Amino acid sequence: MQTKILFICLFLAMSWSLSAQNGAGKTFDFGLEIQQYPTGFLLGGRAELGWSAHHSMSVRVGYNVFDHKDFAIHQSEKGGGFGFTLGYRYYVKASNQKLFFGARTDFWWNSVDWKDHIGLSNEGIGNTKIIVVQPTAIVGYLFLINEHWVVSPTIALGGEINVITKGEPTGQGVIFLWGINLEYRF
């Protein structure tokens, strides 16, 4: 399943790259995205296609590492998993630069190792597999460093929703993320 998702995302990125070369006002950015939140860290490759002066779509393929800490249902919840993101951005300035607002949804296939009653005779351990949907609103600022390199700090607010759970329930809820994108503009 993850191989199919990766193949589809790479195919879309290559298709967007070719279409981005076909007209004025279109942009194509490709690079890395790092996001952090109070209980975790996301790292991924991302591609963004600006199809007009103010609008763009993006895709990210990445890995999510987390430790739910005090937000957990269990005493300890740690894990990670692969996933992808689909997003939209509206740039206030034409040419897909500077201030932007957007919406995006992440899909994560996570494995959570949990523990309860740590250090006691009735210590319990287990593993839960979850599929997470994470819709967020995002705001950021795209800095055009030179003709090709762009940097975008971002903040996002949304929800982390466990839509499929195989095993004990694990933490979910409101999520606040901050991050940065470093990309090459073709």
The 10s digit of each residue's pLDDT in 17-26 is 444 444 556 8
Q: Which amino acid, residue 90?
A: Y
The average pLDDT across 33-37 equals 97
| Token pair belonging to 136 | 């967020």
- Cα–Cα distance, 185 to 29 (Å, whole number): 4
Enumerate the β-bridge partners of residue 39. none
Q: What is the CATH number of the domain that holds 48?
A: 2.40.160.20
| DSSP reduced 3-state for 182 | strand
Coil/strand/helix, residue 130: strand
Per-residue pLDDT, averaged over 156-180, amounts to: 95
- Count of domains in the chain? 1
Query: Which of 161, 156, 157 lies closest to 131, judged by CA?
Result: 161
Q: Which domain holds residue 36?
A: 2-185
pLDDT of residue 44: 98
Taking the mean position of all CA atoms in its chain, how far away is CA 172?
A: 16
Structural tokens at position 57: 């779509």
pLDDT score, position 105: 98
Question: What average pLDDT does the structure give for the chain?
Answer: 89
